[in-house]
Amino acid sequence: MTLLPGVTSYLNIIETSLKNSKFEFFRRFFIIITSSSIFIALSGCFKTFFSFSLYGTPKVYPLIFATFLVIYSVYGLNKITDIKEDQLNNPDRSNLILRNKKLFKYSAGVTYFFAVIIGCFYGWKVLLIILFPLMAGIMYSIEIHPRIPRLKDIFPVKSIIVALSWTIGNTFLPIVDGKINFMIMILIFIFFFTKSFINTVLFDLMDVSGDKKIGARTIPVVMGSSETIKLLLVANSILTMLFFIFISYGFFQSLVIPLIFCLIYGYAYILYFYNTPNRLKLELLVDGEWILLVFISLLTIPLTLY
């Protein structure tokens, strides 16, 4: 399975440039912002922003900012609990976390505290949505009892829990105070869950060798790389068919171009990373998808919608 030659060449140029000593500063910068969870938290902001656009509801920027705080905190805490696994799968990140463990621990606590404060101003529904990733993260990462496995160690619960943690906030934050078409809500839930599931499994694909050593039963470990890619392509194909059905009935008309791009982009990076085990590029291109998607939306949608 190969990617379009032009796209492949472009990505190879990026990789070559980052390896060049002249670009070492940028490579280290990207490692820091991805390892520290800043980049994925920023991506989460844009993802929630795009969700508001899907619903066509006014943007509530404090809630969008709260998603940044929550994602930064939860992913920061998870990276602290996963230091041993990361020493095998992602040594650059593991070394950074080890050198600055206290900083990451305290900053994660402070950011979640402020996210909860923001949630309190918008009512108990928002507060529950904000607290959900923390509860899921605790159950996901922490061993409560030696006889009770962590959720991340149960096949395929890890990928489902991570995808669900993303999906709850993205689906429900834009509509906590308003009435919405139930079918639209279900489709948006499926959209974010499927995209998050695909991305989570792709990251597991990067960690197959390390996960095998520690006995983690991730989808790529159990199914193998080839079958995993087929599963992700099927998931993206089902999502594509659903959206084209809804678009044909007149839904999401103002977002047709960004959505088509999103679905095609999904196929592209699934196929590309099947043969390209480069975690830094994966984080930039996959986590950065939502940043790119919002910018495309801004270029193709009337500004009055924002």
**Running along the chain, 306 residues long, what does each successive block of 10 average in pLDDT?**
52 56 65 83 94 91 94 84 66 72 86 94 92 80 65 78 91 85 90 94 86 80 92 95 87 88 94 85 90 89 51
Q: What is the pLDDT of residue 259?
A: 92
pTM here is 0.84
What token pair was written down for 224?
Answer: 């193998």
Burial class (CB in 10 A: 0-12, 13-18, 19+), 245: exposed
For the chain, the first-to-last Cα distance in angstroms comes to 39
- Residue pair 83/30 in contact by the 8 Å Cβ criterion: no
pLDDT at 16: 59
CA 247 from chain centre, in angstroms, equals 25
* Distance of alpha carbon 109 from alpha carbon 116, whole angstroms: 11
Q: Which pLDDT value is given to residue 275?
A: 82
**Whole-angstrom distance, CA of residue 84 vs CA of residue 46:** 31
Under DSSP, the state recorded for 286 is I
Alpha-carbon gap, residue 254 to 156, rounded angstroms: 36
What local confidence, expressed as pLDDT, does residue 20 receive?
56
Radius of gyration, alpha carbons of the chain = 19
Q: What is the dihedral of CA 132, 133, 135, 139, to 10 degrees?
A: 140
Give CA separation, 275 vs 48, 86, 225, in Å.
30, 21, 10
Amino acid at 173: L
Q: How far is Cα 48 from Cα 60, in angstroms, rounded to an integer?
A: 10
Q: What region, left, alpha or beta, does residue 250 occupy, with left being phi > 0 and alpha being psi -120 to 50 degrees?
A: left
